[in-house]
Amino acid sequence: MRAVYGLYDDPHVAQQAVENLRAAGVADTDITVISSEPFDHFEFGHRDATTAMPWVAVAAGVVGLGLSYYLLGAAQRSWPLVTSGMPIVPLWSNLIIIFEMTMLSAILATVVYLFVSAGLPSRGGKMYDPEVSDGYILVGVENPQDGARLEPALAIGSGRVKTIS
Amino acid sequence: MNRTLTKPLTDDLIRPLFQTSIWFYAIVFAAGTVVACGAAAWGYQIWFGIGSAGIRWPVFWGFYLVNFVFWIGISHAGTLISAILRLVNAGWRRPVTRCAEAITVFALMIGAMFPIIHLGRPWLAFWLFPYPSDREIWPNFRSPLAWDFFAINTYLTGSVLFLFLPMIPDFALIRDRSTGWRKTGYGWLSFGWRGTTRQWNRLESAMQIMAVAILPVAVSVHTIVSFDFSMAAVPMWHSTIFGPYFVAGAIFSGIAALIIAMAVLRKMLGLEQYLQPLHFENLGKLLLLMSILWAYFVFAERLTVWYGNEHHEMVVFWATQRGAFAPFYWTMVICNFVIPFVILANYKTRTIAGCVIASIGVLIGMWLERFLIIIPSLAHKQLPYSWGEYAPQPVELTIMAATFAGMILLYALFSKFVPIIAIWELKAGLPSRLDPAARAEAALLATRLDTEEFSPEASSTHGEHR
């Protein structure tokens, strides 16, 4: 069995299914919850919430700041233009470009980190059911050691249990 | 419970993607024709030279730069408003954000075209790019035009990503509900999105970070556009108030454009249930606030010039107050302040129709404001021998009309291929998601009965939620 999962039309029942899987001995990291919207008010919606993304963005911003500061100065020194009595490397006007490059670096790093940490793009072949897009919440386990044992844990409320062989 | 609540909502919002009305074809044809005329006019200008436009000494910045500033201002509708509302977690933002973010991207694309059109020789635009040439010549990084390049490109990149990232879950939703080329296309666009809790958490974190990052970028973009003027020793340009004045004006015109776009989409796509009077009322209040702020900036700018009484500035001042440009000036004041104030200050007239009328006035007024900043000052520089006039030529008028048609065309096509309201954000804002207490109790009782045989201890924690 490649996967066993339940489909629920009620987030409270989905929460119960997650609890049941835990009670059945399934590790938290092995439980997959898939939905067509975030469920911030449910415990299962906060799994995997910890992320280094803000720090990555800040670090990338610092790198962008340092690089643009260096590159601007190097470019200006390599072709020294005298403009309106300003220094060859004028910090005041360079700050504008340095600021833009700092923010651009932070934004791009955030997006790259999002894609990498969220596993995107994904080629498929993973546990999924198109009924999720109708509003159902999928709770299941991929590659379970004993899938049959988990089926009762998922068969609760109006949930429907499915398996992928 | 979950499904029955959200399925009709999803069906409503993706219906325009699968059903095409005759109006869509009519709009695309009409707008496409005007855009084609604009492209032909630009081709004419390239072939016969920049002299076919009305820009000549001393007014070298004509309609092209007026429209550049106007469209960059309109671009502040989306990302800025969306980012602010996202950060303060304003619940009513949910149906509004994507409409707004799309305006930003399209307006920026259109606005960024004008400096290239204005060049006359657009194939030399790359001279502005910071690339290491054979002769090691770099752009002059002290030039506000180089700042424009960096600021607009940063804002455009950030805005495109800010628009695109929240579309990925909606693309996945359409992928699951479509067949054939649509399934393939939306499959590619959704990057294999499944909607795991990890993916949702990462997406929401990314949107928060981007909202924080894009806000100062948005402010910087229009400040830098204002530097194009305030760094020059031209009468009534060399002013320290130009940065915030331009930013306030940009947000002002952006909100007006957003209200008009939302009203049109609401009617054309049958979204009355989602774009409700409340949304227009809230945006109307914001528009009123910006109208008052705009009036304050205009007063502060004008009073300072009048009190300073410098001769070359007073020439421009009186040309706009009671000279040749006075009709435009007072029309601007009526459109930007009188009309919005009269309509929006009264809650009885702050209806959808009232907001749209006020917004049309604001767009006209803000275009005139850009015109009045650029043309009178360039036509009345310090020395009288350099005074001149400006008359826009058919080439400029056609290209200007084409950009407005281009905006309509891009927006129509966008709403045909992308749900114009973020479906997942709207679902996440449903009352049942925000206040689950009563429903949780009922579900708890129902599911306990089913689970008791399997795991009694599990039921003790069932229904736990934050």
Condensed to tens digits (0 to 9), the pLDDT of residues A53-91 reads 999 999 999 999 999 999 999 988 888 888 888 899 999
Q: What average pLDDT does this structure show over B385-406?
A: 94
Considering only the beta carbons, identify the residue of A16, A72, A117 that sits closest to B202. Answer: A117
Q: What average pLDDT does this structure show over B406-413?
A: 94
Say if residue B347 is exposed, middle or buried (CB neighbours under 10 Å; 0-12, 13-18, 19+).
exposed
Looking at residue A42, what is its pLDDT?
A: 87
Looking at residue B209, what is its pLDDT?
A: 95
């749900």: which residue's tokens?
B419
Alpha carbon of B10 to those of B163, B178, B346, B424: distances in Å? 19, 13, 36, 9
- Cβ of B151 and A15 within 8 Å? no
Q: What is the mean pLDDT of chain B?
A: 87
Looking at residue B458, what is its pLDDT?
A: 38
Question: Which of B247, B250, B251 is CA-nearest to residue B219?
Answer: B247
Interface A:B, Cβ pairs < 8 A: 264
Q: What percent of chain B has pLDDT over 70?
A: 90
Q: What percent of chain A has pLDDT over 90?
A: 51
Reply yes or no on whether the pLDDT at A33 is more than 50.
Answer: yes
């990925």: which residue's tokens?
B168
- Cβ of B195 and A15 within 8 Å? no
Q: What average pLDDT does this structure show over B421-439?
A: 70
Read off the pLDDT band of A135 (50, 70, 90).
confident
Looking at residue B462, what is its pLDDT?
A: 37
Looking at residue B461, what is its pLDDT?
A: 37
Q: Please tell me the distance from the alpha carbon of residue B410 to that of residue B102, in angstroms, as a whole number.
A: 9
pLDDT tens for residues B152-204? 999 999 999 999 999 999 999 999 989 999 999 999 999 999 999 999 999 99
pLDDT tens for residues B40-79? 999 999 999 999 999 988 999 999 999 999 999 998 877 7
Looking at residue B447, what is its pLDDT?
A: 44
- Cβ of A114 and B202 within 8 Å? yes
Looking at residue B5, what is its pLDDT?
A: 56
Q: What average pLDDT does this structure show over B354-383?
A: 95
> Residue A163 forms beta bridges with which residues?
A4
pLDDT tens for residues A101-123? 999 999 999 999 999 999 989 87
**Which of B116-120's residues contact partners 24+ apart within 8 Å by CB, and which partners?**
B117/B42, B117/B45, B117/B64, B117/B399, B118/B55, B118/B61, B118/B64, B118/B65, B118/B68, B120/B45, B120/B46, B120/B49, B120/B50
Of B84-93, B266-275, B383-392, which range is least confident? B84-93
Looking at residue B160, what is its pLDDT?
A: 94
Read off the pLDDT band of B438 (50, 70, 90).
very low
* Nearest residue on chain B to A77, alpha-carbon basis: B138
Terminal-to-terminal C-alpha distance of chain B: 19
Of B66-75, B290-299, B317-326, B436-445, which range is least confident? B436-445
Residue A124 in contact with partner chain B when CB distance is under 8 A: yes
Looking at residue B357, what is its pLDDT?
A: 97
Alpha carbon of B402 to those of B33, B34, B152, B263: distances in Å? 9, 5, 21, 22
* Nearest residue on chain B to A37, alpha-carbon basis: B424
Say if residue B268 is exposed, middle or buried (CB neighbours under 10 Å; 0-12, 13-18, 19+).
middle
Probe site for chain A from B17, B164, B196, B439 (most A CB atoms < 10 A): B196
Looking at residue B92, what is its pLDDT?
A: 78
Q: What average pLDDT does this structure show over B120-129?
A: 85
Considering only the beta carbons, identify the residue of B4, B204, B454 that sits closest to A9. Answer: B4
Looking at residue B196, what is its pLDDT?
A: 93
Residue A29 in contact with partner chain B when CB distance is under 8 A: no
Q: What is the mean pLDDT of chain A?
A: 90
pLDDT tens for residues B17-37? 888 889 899 999 999 999 999
DSSP A96-154: HHHHHHHHHHHHHHHHHHHHHHTT-S--S-SS--GGGGGT-EEEEEES-TTHHHHHHHH
Tell me the shortest Cα–Cα distance from B119 to chain A, in angstroms.
22
Looking at residue A126, what is its pLDDT?
A: 79
Considering only the beta carbons, identify the residue of A10, A35, A48 that sits closest to B443. Answer: A10
Q: Is the peptide bond before B58 cis (omega within 30 degrees of 0)?
A: yes
User: Residue A161 — φ and ψ, nearest 5°?
Assistant: -95, 135
Q: Is the peptide bond before A121 cis (omega within 30 degrees of 0)?
A: yes
Reply yes or no on whether the pLDDT at A149 is more than 60.
Answer: yes
User: Residue A164 — φ and ψ, nearest 5°?
Assistant: -120, 120
pLDDT tens for residues B261-301? 999 989 988 888 888 898 899 999 999 999 999 999 999 99
Residue A89 in contact with partner chain B when CB distance is under 8 A: no
pTM of the full structure: 0.88
The ipTM assigned to this model is 0.94
Q: Please tell me the distance from the alpha carbon of residue A53 to that of residue A110, in angstroms, as a whole number.
A: 6
- Cβ of B201 and A24 within 8 Å? no
| H or E segment to which residue A32 belongs | strand A31-34
